[in-house]
Chains A and B, each alone.
Chain A
């Protein structure tokens, strides 16, 4: 389920081409990371890329728990935060004492911080999986987050602890002051962490993690302790979350208690689940989308978090495989050449679905402008069309788009389901779908 490459029937026929394609993807990813800042070189896009890189490491580390081991954690940000504080304190110590530790090694120390915390709290947490683990992770997350406000000397209270990343020893003449150098540092760690985490899924440990997720009882019968397996997986997840936290501390030159909080844990859960937990590249997609939306929507609307919630609920209810799951559903159809059979119904469904989405956005924005008073202005700009939030015409349009769009869209979704059935039947006949 998890790996993309070995499930394909062609793997046994031409392993060499398969392997070439596999390594090709990683090489292309590495080249893309190097080339990206050359194409989009503005300061804003560099900052965005850096944030996205950190979010990807964090989301991938979260997927070691949720996707690989089946552990739903509501407190993963504690490792991210502790990693950040380890990194900050190390950087300040290096600057003060003149230790010969250059900046690129700092995220490793962040990772060790996350790992240490995971070793301490993980044993109690991973005793049980499922709902109980989720509740305990929430409780322990709150415990660590609230304790960080009490232990002021370590966590700096509400204002946090700051540092200066350029005060560390320079390497290769890089001072790590400019954002471009930080971007390459993050890209470097992203590549290493992604390869390491992918490799982890292919080891016997990664496989036994999947087994613990799917059938812990049977794992016990073949002689493994699911508790120990979950504990080890938790340690790995904590380590990589700490790396992400350390990078974040370097990027912002500050660590505060918000790093550890429930909001941060919620965002990583959203990113991972929206992207899709069943495939390795799912959290990557999710982290890119969520970070992009976070950065982009905040300028456009005041209620951007509500859209997050709605997208998340929609994914949970209608596409629990996430974006990656939706994409991979089409793979056998592409192979069998029957994708063309469903594209027309997709195109038909696009219009009413978009109308429905526009209607919902209009409703939300109208309410938001209405309740938040004059400050935010009454004009809603949707697809280039200005709507006046105070005019009944807008309310009417919103109602028509939402209600009408919903009923028409539902009809067109049914057509998709029918076309889907036809396409998969043909694909099955051609032998591309089990």
Chain B
């Protein structure tokens, strides 16, 4: 039991940090442009596939740098030629544009790489057990993932809070026209922030690709959870996104690891009505309901605290 708790905690924090790599970009883009980027999970997927392809051609380490740059460039192009032109039609049009993009990117990826999972392997340098805990070998690659996520988190925080660039970005979030009057190119700031957000998603894709499955439906699987994280943490709140990412990461990891059900907990009280809704609920295991847990949390938070955990305004 202790083994389960320790391993699941490490895995949960890891998944949570991965979610934060994605939700941080999403939430900064949201507070800046007021648009929730539906294609954000698609950038994550592009990162994984570019990482896979570049790893084949030039190796994992160059791919770790190049693939996010490529994804970032695509992100900037999307902002410059897509969102900026759509802005005049309102937020719903922008949301729909990113929705269409997410759809198109998934189709392009499955057209180019097919629908099956890719053979994206952990680099040989990191393919060893880092330590053994309760007779479980914990892979070094996962520690590496954790280290990269934490490093990016710290770098992001320092850039936003301690540098001049971060100052301008923060100012452009709340007072774009004032920043423009001071002589900064706000359009370019938006484009860069969008690009950086996309690149962060790309990094998440490159490092998550070998550990999770690199497949053309990975964006569809992760996208909704990402939105849950952002709404749960409070739209536009970076610290809220951080807490929500870790929380949802832990909840999902623990739920998958647990095998209990109502039937196993209250075995002697089995209602045994034959096949009905009640027996379905009675027999379902916690790991089976893991995929719907984030959505249950979403509904709960919307009822209890509609602005999200750390949201300053009512969402």
Interface residues of chain A, those whose CB is within 8 Å of chain B, are: 70, 72, 74, 124, 127-128, 130-132, 134-136, 138-140, 142-143, 146-147, 150-154, 262, 266, 269, 273, 303, 305-306, 308-310, 312-313, 316-317, 320, 364, 367-368, 371-372
Question: With an 8 A cutoff between CB atoms, is B275 at the interface?
Answer: yes
Contact A320 B89 (CB under 8 A): yes
Give the dominant DSSP class at B's interface. Answer: helix
> When A266-B103, A313-B101, A372-B114 are in contact, do A153 and B277 touch as well, CB less than 8 Å?
yes
Interchain nearest-CB distance for A279 vs B (Å): 17
Residues of B near A317 (CB, < 8 A) are 82, 85-86, 97
Contact B92 A146 (CB under 8 A): no
Q: Pick the residue among B85, B95, B104, B299 that contacts A139 (CB under 8 A).
A: B299
Contact B111 A146 (CB under 8 A): no
Question: With an 8 A cutoff between CB atoms, is B250 at the interface?
Answer: no
CA distance A70 to B113 in the complex (A): 38
Interchain nearest-CB distance for B305 vs A (Å): 12
Contact B114 A153 (CB under 8 A): no
Question: With an 8 A cutoff between CB atoms, is B292 at the interface?
Answer: yes
Contact B224 A142 (CB under 8 A): yes
Contact B292 A316 (CB under 8 A): no
> When A131-B35, A134-B95, A153-B276 are in contact, do A143 and B295 touch as well, CB less than 8 Å?
yes
A-B contact count (CB 8 A): 129
CA distance A10 to B275 in the complex (A): 64
CA distance A367 to B280 in the complex (A): 46
Q: Pick the residue among B34, B100, B275, B314 that contacts A153 (CB under 8 A).
A: B275
Contact B91 A130 (CB under 8 A): yes
Interchain nearest-CB distance for A85 vs B (Å): 12
Interface residue range, chain B: 35 or more
List B residues 62-88 near A (Cβ within 8 Å). 82, 85-86
Question: With an 8 A cutoff between CB atoms, is B171 at the interface?
Answer: no
Contact B95 A72 (CB under 8 A): yes
Give A312's nearest chain B residue, CB to CB: B100
Residues of A near B281 (CB, < 8 A) are 150-151
List B residues 235-293 near A (Cβ within 8 Å). 235, 275-277, 279-281, 284, 288-289, 291-292
Residues of A near B111 (CB, < 8 A) are 303, 306, 364, 367-368, 371-372
Contact B296 A143 (CB under 8 A): yes
Residues of B near A310 (CB, < 8 A) are 104
Interchain nearest-CB distance for A217 vs B (Å): 14
Most A Cβ at <10 Å: residue of B85, B86, B104, B281: B104
> When A128-B315, A305-B103 are in contact, do A153 and B280 touch as well, CB less than 8 Å?
yes
